[in-house]
Structure 1
Amino acid sequence: MKNLFKIYYKDLFLGKRLFVGIGICVSLFLFTFFLPWLGDLPYIAFCALIALVTVDFLLLYNHKRGVFLRRDVPERLSNGDENELNIYVENFYSFGINIGVIDEIPFQFQKRNLWFKATLNAKTHKTINYTLRPTKRGEYVFGMVRLYVQSPLGLITRRFNFETDKTVPVYPSFLQLRKYELMAISNRLSEVGIKKIRRIGHSMEFDQVKNYVKGDDYRTINWKATARRGDLMVNSFTDEKSQHVYSIIDKSRVMKMPFDGLTLLDYAINASLVLSNVALVKDDKAGLITIAEKTGSIVSADRRPAQLGKIMNVLYKEKTRYLETNMEALYISIRGLIKQRSLIVFYTNFESMSALNRQLPFLKRIAKFHLLLIVFFENTELKTLTEKPVNNVEDIYINTIAGKFAYEKKLMVKELAKHGILSILTPPNKLTINVVNRYLAIKAQQKI
C-alpha cells in the first residue's frame, strides 16, 4: 500500500483545468446561498468533476508503460560550439497526449528554463532537437529527463522519469576541426574568409608530369616528355612536406581574460587544434608545447594517424595558471626538443609594451633558429570604447586612454617585425581563420 501511494502521489500532479473546475464548483456552492433555484446543480457539477478526474486517472495509469523516452547525447561535446542533442519520445497510449519535457542538463550551462512542449497522436513518436554551447572543458554530468503527460481531458498530469546520470567530456572544438579539415582537403578555405595567397615561385618538391593547361607556367615545360608524347607536357610541383609546425600555448594569467563566454586560453586551444589538423592534412608534422611558470605538456612533432588524438587529449586537461610565463624555461625546452628549423606559433597576450619588452630577448633568441609567429589578441572592449560617441569630459578621457592602449597594440606588431618576428594581432573570434590563413601563406611563400 505504501509503495502504491509513493507511485501515485510522487508522480501525480494537478492540472490547470482541474483547478478551474474546482473554482466553478466552489462558486456554484456560494451562489446557492443567494440563488436557491440552483438546487442540486453544485452537487451534480462536483460529482461530474470527480467522475472526470477518475476517468483521467484511469486513462493515464491504466498503462504501466504508456510512453518511452530516450535522450541522445554525443559521446563528447565540442567546446565553444553549438552541440546538437535529441530527445526521442514515443506514445504507446491509444489516444493523443500532451507532453512537457524537462531535461536536467549540467549545472555549467546555468539554464533553468529548458522546457519543451509537444503533442503526440496515438501510437506515434516525435524527436525534439535542441543545442547546448559549453564554454569550459571538463566533465559535464547530465541528470534525469522528466516527462509530464496529460490526456485529452487535461485534469491531472502523470510524470515519467527516464535516463540516469550520464557524464560527457567536453573537448576542444573538434567541430571546427572537421569543418576546416574538409575545406583544406578540397582547397575551399577561402569560403570561410581565408584568402588565396599568390605563390612566389614554386617548390622543388616534384609531383608529376601532366598535360599543359592554359595558365600553366611555360617555364615548367618538360621538353623531353613533350617530344615523346607530341603534346605540351609540364612538370607539376607541390608544397614541401614533412615540415615541423609547433603550437606553443601560453597558459599563464594573461590568457584568463574572457570573451563571449570562453577564455583566451580556450580560443588558443581551439585554434591550435585546427592548425595541427590542417598541417597534418598538408603532410606536415604537428607538435605542441604548453608553458606557464614552468614547461607543461610536450607532444613531439609527428604526422602519424594518432597524432591529432594525442594532441587533443593533452589540450583537454589544460587549465589557466596564475603566474608569469617563464620564457627562459620555454627557450630551453625549444632548444632541447626541436632540432630542425620549424614554424613555431606562440599563442600569448600582451597588454602593454613593457610586457612585450620583458619577453622580447627570449623571443629574439628563438627567432634565430626557427620561424617564429607570435599570436596575440585585440582587446575588443577597448575597441568598443574608442568607437563610442563622446558626450562629456569623462567620455573624452576614457576614449583617449582606450585609444592609447589600442595604438600600443599596433606598436607591438611593428616592434616584433623590426626583429624579424612574424605576428598576428586578432580578435578572439577570428583567431582560427587568421592563424590558418597565415600558415597557408607561409607554406606558399616557402619561408620555413
Structure 2
Amino acid sequence: MKFLQSFYLNNRFFLVIIGIVLLFALGFIVQALVGIAKIALLVLGVLCIIDLLLIYGTRNGLKGARSANEKLSNGDENKIQLHIQNHYSFLTFLKIIDEIPHQFQIRNFLFQTTLEPRTNKTLEYKLRPVKRGEYKFGALNVYISTKIGFIARRYRFAQQQMIPVYPSYLQMRKYELLAISNRLTEAGIKKIRRVGHNQEFEQIKEYVQGDDMRTINWKATARRNNLMVNHYQDEKSQQVYCIVDKGRVMKMPFEQMSLLDYAINASLVISSIAMNKDDKAGLITFNRQIESILPARKGLAQMQSILEVLYKQNTAFKESNFEKLYITLKRKIKHRSLIILFTNFESESALTRQLPYLKAIAGNHLLLVVLFENTELRSLLEAPAYSTEEVYLKTIAEKFDFEKRLIVKELRKCGVHAVLSTPQSLTVNTINKYLEFKSRGLI
C-alpha cells in the first residue's frame, strides 16, 4: 500500500503512450508503423523499469522539512522555509507542494526545481495572515523524478504542523529596535521637542554653564555661598492603558483585516513603546461586558501577558457598553492615567449616545479616542463621477466623510483628545500622539 500511495505517473509517460497508440492506429494504413509502435512500447517498458529501480532503489533517498517561527505575526509577511536533502546519487527533478492552511485560500502552490546528487537546498516563501488563531499546515509533498521522467515518487514530510498567529509582534520588534536606537523618525514618528518643566525633582547640584537659570535654588545658594540649581529628571512610571472596543463597529474589514486586528496590533506596539519610555502599560478589552483587565505594570513578563491576552480577543456583534467601561475605570484605576481608546463611530448619533461617558472618563484621566477613517470612502471621493448614479454615490460619501470629521471636532470641543487615522497608519499616528503628550507634560 505504501508503494501504491507514493507511485505516480508523469505527464511524459501519458504523452508517449498517446504517441504509441497513434502509431498503432496509423498501422492500419501503413503496416510498417505497427512494428515501430511495438518497438516503442518495448522501449517504454524498459525505461519505466529503469526509472522505477532508480527512484525506489534507495529507501530514504530524500529528506524534507518545513521551518517557521513558533508563531506567525498577524498582518505581516512571515517567512516559511522548506529544506530538502538529496541522498540519491543522480540529478533529481523535484515538484514541491506544501499544504498551506485553508485560511490563505492558496490553491496553486508549486515549486519546481532540480537537486544535484547528495546536496541540500532551501526554498523560501512568505505568508501574510490576516486573522489571529491556529493555522494548521498539512504535509510537505515532494515528487521526485529522474531524467527519464516517466515515474514520480512522492515523499511526505512535516504532516499536521500547527502554528498560532499572534498580534503583530514583528511590527512591535521593529518599533522597539527603532526606539532603542533613537531612530523612530525612520518609521514616520515625529521628533517632538520637550517643552515646559513637567519633571520630577532629583537633587540640588552646583551651577555649571548651560544650566537653566530658572532652576536656581536661592536658599541653597545662600547657605553654600555658591550658585546651586535644582536638577530634575523626566517623570517616569506613568500608567498607559490601551482599551480595545470589541463591539460590532470593529468588525469592519480593510485590506482583509478587521478594525479590531488593526487596534490590537497598535495596542501591542504602543504598550512596548510606553515601557521603553519607562511607563507602565496596561490593557482592557470590552463589548457589552468588560472582557479582560490587565493592570499596568512594566517588564518582559507584562509584555508577554499583553501578547497572550490580545491573541484571544474576538469581535462581538453587539453594541459596546461604555457605561460599564466608565464604571470599571472608576473602580479599577485610581491614579490619573493615559487612556487610549480604540473604537469607531460612523455617525453623530452613535457618538451622542456615548459622549457623556467619554466626558466622564476624560474628567478623571487623559483620554485619547482613536477613530478609523474609511479609506473606501476616500478612494470614492477622489474618483471622478461620470453618471448621475456616481454623482449621487459621491454626494453620500462626502456626507459620511464630513460627519466623521464633525465627530472628531465634537470630541475635541468636549475636552477629549481624538485621532482620526487610516487603518494602515494607525500605529504611527497613535505613537505620535503619545509622544506629543509626553513632550507637553500632559502625563
Cα distance between partner residues in 1 of 2:176 and 2:170: 10
Aligned twin of 1:297 = 292
Cα distance between partner residues in 2 of 1:125 and 1:375: 50
Cα distance between partner residues in 1 of 2:114 and 2:217: 74
Cα distance between partner residues in 1 of 2:442 and 2:34: 99
Cα distance between partner residues in 2 of 1:205 and 1:67: 66
Give 2:280's aligned amino acid: K
Cα distance between partner residues in 1 of 2:25 and 2:208: 99
- Give the counterpart of 1:353 among 348, 352, 368: 348
Aligned twin of 1:429 = 424
Which segment drifts farther, 185-194 or 20-29? 20-29
Shift of 1:41: 2.3
Report SS of the residue matched to 2:281: strand
The aligned runs of 1:37-436 (5 Å cut-off) are: 37-38=32-33, 40-205=35-200, 219=213, 238-436=233-431
- Identify unmatched segments of 5+ residues in structure 2: 219-227
- Give the counterpart of 1:17 among 4, 12, 28: 12
Which segment drifts farther, 253-262 or 29-38? 29-38
- When residues 250 and 111 of structure 1 are mapped into structure 2, their CA distance, relative to the original with a 3 A threshold, is same
Cα distance between partner residues in 2 of 1:39 and 1:134: 58
Cα distance between partner residues in 1 of 2:266 and 2:123: 32
Shift of 1:210: 12
- Give the counterpart of 1:27 among 10, 14, 22: 22
- When residues 217 and 397 of structure 1 are mapped into structure 2, their CA distance, relative to the original with a 3 A threshold, is farther
Which segment drifts farther, 61-70 or 192-201? 192-201
Cα distance between partner residues in 1 of 2:303 and 2:434: 17
- When residues 39 and 409 of structure 1 are mapped into structure 2, their CA distance, relative to the original with a 3 A threshold, is closer
Which segment drifts farther, 398-407 or 39-48? 39-48
Cα distance between partner residues in 2 of 1:156 and 1:47: 16
Report if aligned partners of 1:71, 1:87 keep a CA contact under 8 Å in 2. Answer: yes
Report SS of the residue matched to 2:300: coil
Tell me the TM-score normalized by structure 1: 0.92
Cα distance between partner residues in 2 of 1:39 and 1:391: 69
- When residues 43 and 234 of structure 1 are mapped into structure 2, their CA distance, relative to the original with a 3 A threshold, is farther
Cα distance between partner residues in 1 of 2:97 and 2:88: 21
Q: Which 4+ runs in 1 deviate beyond 6 A?
A: 206-213, 220-224, 233-236
Give 1:336's aligned amino acid: R
Tell me the TM-score normalized by structure 2: 0.93
The sequence identity of aligned pairs, in percent, is 50
Report if aligned partners of 2:217, 2:230 keep a CA contact under 8 Å in 1. Answer: no
Shift of 1:21: 1.8
- Give the counterpart of 1:439 among 425, 434, 438: 434
Alpha-carbon RMSD: 2.3
Shift of 1:31: 2.9
Aligned twin of 1:230 = none
- Identify unmatched segments of 5+ residues in structure 1: 1-5, 225-232
Cα distance between partner residues in 1 of 2:424 and 2:211: 38
